[in-house]
Amino acid sequence: MRLDLPQPLPADTCGTVAMSYQEETLELNVRVAHTGTVQKGLEFLYNSEKERNAVARLIASLAEGQNRPGPVLLG
């Protein structure tokens, strides 16, 4: 996921992101896991298996529309 911010966030900053696609919107807790000069990385902080599965379904829907294989979520 690409995240554009007006100001950089330090590593270990926590917050919430919302992702929408078609009729589905997910709000998830995240942590800034990596801050490089070019790329930043977020870690999803799942509160339940239901949230993890919802993200997997969202990624699969996005991949399906582009003829790509579905997601592989790592614990």
Q: Per residue of the chain (75 residues), what is the pLDDT tens digit?
A: 666 677 778 889 999 998 887 888 889 999 998 887 777 788 999 999 999 999 888 888 877 766 655 555 555
Residue 45 · residue 30 · CB < 8 Å: yes
Q: Which residues of 22-34 are buried (b: 16+ CB within 10 A; e: fewer)?
A: eeeeeebebebee
Provide the whole-model pTM. 0.69
**CA-to-CA distance for 44 and 17, rounded, in angstroms?**
9
Predicted pLDDT of residue 6: 75
pLDDT score recorded for residue 58: 85
